[in-house]
Structure 1
Amino acid sequence: MVERFNATLVTQLAKYCEEDQHDWDEWVPYMLMAYHAVEHEAMGFTPSRLMFGREICLPVYLATRKPLDEGLPVSHTKYVWTLQCRIEETRHRTIQHLKIAGQAMGRWYNEQARDAVYSPGDQVWFHNPCKRPGKSPKLQSPWEGPYTVVERISAVTYRITPAGSSRRTKVVHVDRLWRHSGKGVFTWGPRVSDHDSNSDIVGVTARRIVTVTLVW
Structure 2
Amino acid sequence: MSSDISLSQGALERHHQTLKTILRAFCLEHERDWNKAVPYVMFAVREAPTESLGFSPNQLVFGHHVRGPLDVVRKAWCYPPISDSTVLLDYVLVARKRLRKAHDIARAHLGAAQKGMKWYYDRRTKYHSFQEGDEVLVLLPLQGQPLAARYCGPYTIQERVGDLDYLVATPDRRKPVQLCHVNMLKPYYRFSSQEGSFSFVKVEAVSRFPAPTCRRGLHKFLGVVGYYRRFVPGHSTLLAPLTDLLQKGRKWTWSPDCAAAFSRVKQLLCELPVLRAPDFKKLSITLSDIISFILFS
Query: Which TM bucket (shorter chain)?
Result: 0.3 to 0.5
Going by fraction, where is helix more abundant, 1 or 2? 2
Which one scores higher on RCO, CA 8 angstroms, separation ≥ 6?
1
* Structure (1 or 2) with the larger CA radius of gyration: 2
Please, what TM-score do these two structures have when normalized by structure 2? 0.31
Please, what TM-score do these two structures have when normalized by structure 1? 0.41
